[in-house]
Amino acid sequence: MTLLATKNISIGFPSRHGMFVAVKDVSFSVEPGEILGIVGESGAGKSTVGNAIISLLQPPGKVISGEVWFNSKRIDNLSVEQKRRLRGKKIGMIFQDPQTSLDPLKTIKQQLVETIDLHLRLGRKGSEKRAIELLEQVGIPDPQLRMHHYPHQFSGGMRQRVVIALALCGEPELIIADEPTTALDVSVQKQILDLMRKLCIEKNVGMILVTHDMGVIAEVTDRVAVMYNSKLMEIGDTKQILGNPQHPYTQSLISAIPRPDKRIERFPLVTYIEDVIEPQDEFDLSSHWLGQSRDFSMQVEEDGTILQVKDLCMRFQISNSIFKSKRRYLDAVKMVNFSIKEGETFGIVGESGSGKSTIARMVTGLYQPYSGAVHFLGKEISAINHTPEVLAYRRQMQMVFQDPFSSLNARMRVMDIVAEPILFHKLAASKEEAQHIVLDLLKLVGMADDAYTKYPHQFSGGQRQRISIARALATRPRFLICDEPTSALDVSVQAQILNLLKDLQQELNLTMMFISHDLPVIRQMCDRVAVMQHGQILELAETEQLFSEPQHNYSKHLLSLMPKLDMITERPITVTAQAVQG
């Protein structure tokens, strides 16, 4: 018997400029014990569908047509109170970010008991007993003790387990999981996905898994629905959709996913996107400002080494005390050594908290190393940090940050953002010249002609990251540090940005330090890779060698956690070419 079915639902958000339709004519069904994936890029309307089923649409959003059936009963026309009774009891929901899904001021126990007692009416004692059982089921060790803790005392993965336990309180028949693992590390993601899979089978619960991550889809779903631009493109068995997609959008989306299994020269673009960026003009370095006036007066070392890091350590104080013995420290980076040759792309991979971003911050001088040295272009720049002398070296080294939303000053126009480093380093004779350079740079990274007069909020995430890259290029650097440059972006945009970085590197002979937690991306981008855990480099190897024969156990472990995309690889790659034509 079908658990849930939507029949041609459309969801709209009325606004002053008429109705904005976020979801158009979407129909699908979920069986008990089945996991249905809904995949799509940001803005595709996939989360809106989930919210509509559980009737938690952000006002003024509403279902404007179509029907939702649950257990052979129509539920979209119920009263507010009847809908509330369904929530938690019949339909549960799990949100993306476990850091913010739990009330920070109440213990886990308070939140669990409140919910259990509401749905199952077990009384205080009974609810407590049930809460312990649930915590055990979702794999929280020592639940009797842990349930008295507050959410901030749990790690991200543990918190998501608590969230799942809370969603299970009312013993729902359907669970809607909205990007449940996006905020988690790979190893934790794997555990959470396994847990959800297990629960579905054991309790015969149906699940709708909303995600943008094809890896997650391939890992756990039985069937998948692909959404694009508010519409359902394609729905079918996961194997069939990933292995043999019918719709051109699905085809090109799948081809844009960075492949973990082998290295390819360029990422195929998602060509189905309607506002695709026009092919760029041929870029001639010899006649271009970027090429003309680069400063090569500072020489790399004889063996071609541009950056060398020696015994680098960073320690943060986590609790202060007037007694030295009582102070506690966190060693974020411990005795790290590596060197990067000019023109090379050096990758650093590791889970969150492994110290990869801290290294980037020490190399750029944002943090002063606790001990050890950073040599750049033959000079120990960590020793001359905060002196005027260091500026010339800083100019040669720029950074692209992870979050394109907070790394651009919201009160400055794009023109001023990109011109700022040029003017600061006095690389242009006049303001007019600087403006010319900015226009050039924006064109180089593929921005529209009128972009320079706008403010950052008028752009999408991918466009903002392009602006970030333009700003980083503005000082004509020889060394670029990219700290998770695409992890906040959709697959299709990620492909564009990574291609752009590759092109720029070839044309400008840039050296790159590329930090990511995403192994497939690392494989496509980097020549050599350092694997980090707990502040130490465990393995440093040529990329291909690391992926084919990892030496260290942790590297093997990380590689084993990569989502298996075997189903995709069965498909010949030529489909991409067809998609471009069609």
Partner 1 sequence: MFSFLVKRLLQSIVVLIAVALIAFSLFKFVGDPINNMVGQDTTLDEREALRERLGLNDPFPIQFYHFITDAAVGDFGISYRHKIPVSDLIAERAPATLELSIISALLSVFIGIPMGVYTAIHRKGFISRSFMTLSLVGISLPTFLIGILFIFLFGVILRWLPTFGRGEVVAIGWWTTGLLTWSGIKSLILPSITLALFQMTLIMRLVRTEMLEVLCTDYVKFARARGLKENAVNFGHALKNTLIPVITIIGLQLGLVMAFAIITETVFQWPGMGMLFIQSIEEVDVPVMAAYLMMISLIFVGINLLVDILYAYVDPRLTIDGGSKHG
Instruction: Check if the beta carbon of residue 579 is closer than 8 Å to that of residue 251.
Output: yes
State in angstroms the smallest separation of the CB of 299 from partner 1. 46
Which of 459, 372, 354, 474 is closest to 425 using CA atoms?
474
Question: Considering the complex, what minimum distance in angstroms separates the CB of residue 96 from partner 1?
Answer: 8
Secondary element (H or E) of residue 575:
helix 575-581
What dihedral do alpha carbons 130, 132, 136, 142 form, nearest 10°? -170
- Type of residue found at 180: P
Nearer to partner 1, 153 or 406 (CB): 153
- How far is residue 363's CA from residue 445's CA, in Å, rounded to a whole number? 25
Q: Which is nearer to partner 1, 4 or 140 (CB)?
A: 140
d(CA 25, CA 252): 23
- In this structure, the number of other CB atoms found within 10 A of the CB of residue 323 comes to 6
Residues 6+ apart with CB under 8 A from 129: 122
Whichever of 88 and 215 has its CB closer to partner 1, that residue is 88
The token pair at 121 is 């009416």
- Among residues 424, 507, 504, the alpha carbon closest in space to that of 469 is found at 504
Longest CA span, the chain: 78
SS3 529: strand
Q: Which CB sits closer to partner 1, 97 or 136? A: 97
Pick the closest to residue 500 from 474, 530, 453, 463 (CA basis). Answer: 463
CB-CB contact of 400 with 364 (8 Å) = no
**97 versus 342: smaller Cβ distance to partner 1:** 97
User: What H or E segment, with its residue span, contains residue 21?
Assistant: strand 18-30
Q: Smallest distance, Å, CB 138 to partner 1?
A: 12
Peptide bond preceding 456 in cis form (omega within 30 of 0) = no
Please identify, using beta-carbon distances, which residue of 101 and 385 lies nearer to partner 1: 101
DSSP state of 282: P
CB 505 within 8 A of CB 512: yes
For residue 549, count other CB atoms closer than 10 A to its CB: 10
Residue closer to partner 1 (CB basis): 189 or 511? 189
Radius of gyration of the chain (CA): 26
CB of 91 to partner 1, least distance (A): 8
First to last CA, the chain: 39
Q: Are 372 and 458 in contact (CB under 8 A)?
A: no
Q: Which lies closer to partner 1 via its Cβ, residue 114 or residue 440?
A: 114
For partner 1, the closer CB: 199 or 519: 199
Could you tell me the smallest distance in angstroms from the CB atom of residue 332 to partner 1?
A: 14
Closer of 326 and 426 to partner 1 (Cβ)? 326
Distance separating alpha carbons of residues 534 and 352, to the nearest angstrom: 9
Tell me how far apart the alpha carbons of residues 571 and 242 are, in angstroms, rounded to a whole number. 8
Using CB under 8 A, list all residues that contact partner 1.
54, 56, 84-89, 92-93, 95-97, 100-106, 114-115, 118-119, 140, 146, 150, 152-155, 158, 163, 166-167, 169-170, 321
Helix (H) or strand (E) holding 452: none
Q: What's the min distance (Å) between Cβ of 167 and partner 1?
A: 7
Least CB distance to partner 1 at residue 176 (A): 8
Q: How far is the CB of 321 from partner 1 (least distance, A)?
A: 8
Q: Which is nearer to partner 1, 94 or 467 (CB)?
A: 94
- Give the whole-angstrom CA distance, residue 320 versus residue 570: 56
- CB of 110 or CB of 551, closer to partner 1: 110
